[in-house]
Amino acid sequence: MKARIHITLKSGVLDPQGKAIQSSLGALGFNGIENVRQGKYIELDISQDDQAKARDQLIQMCEKLLANTVIENYTIDLET
């Protein structure tokens, strides 16, 4: 089963990467770009056919390794 995980900074947490992208875009002449936030995107295959079990396992993976839950949120999408 294919899983897609998005890890984003919580709102209110400063995002220097996003700010750098925003100012670089401005320097390149792209105007009207605001609130740039950069996150991580992880794709993986999980050999678990039960969707609920797969989701549980992915939540554990996010909590233990993939996301820093103090400053980051994560969302999990499972492809059926």
Cα separation, 51 vs 44, in Å, equals: 14
What are the φ/ψ torsions at residue 3 (nearest 5 degrees)? -125, 145
Residue 52 as a binder of a copy of itself (CB under 8 A): the answer is no
- The H or E element spanning position 61 is helix 51-61
- Per-residue string for binding with a copy of itself, 1-30, x by CB under 8 A? -----xxx---------x--xx-xx--x-x
Residue 76 as a binder of a copy of itself (CB under 8 A): the answer is no
Radius of gyration of the chain (CA): 16
Residue 61 as a binder of a copy of itself (CB under 8 A): the answer is yes
Residue 47 as a binder of a copy of itself (CB under 8 A): the answer is yes
Binder of a copy of itself out of 12, 16, 41, 80 (CB under 8 A): 41
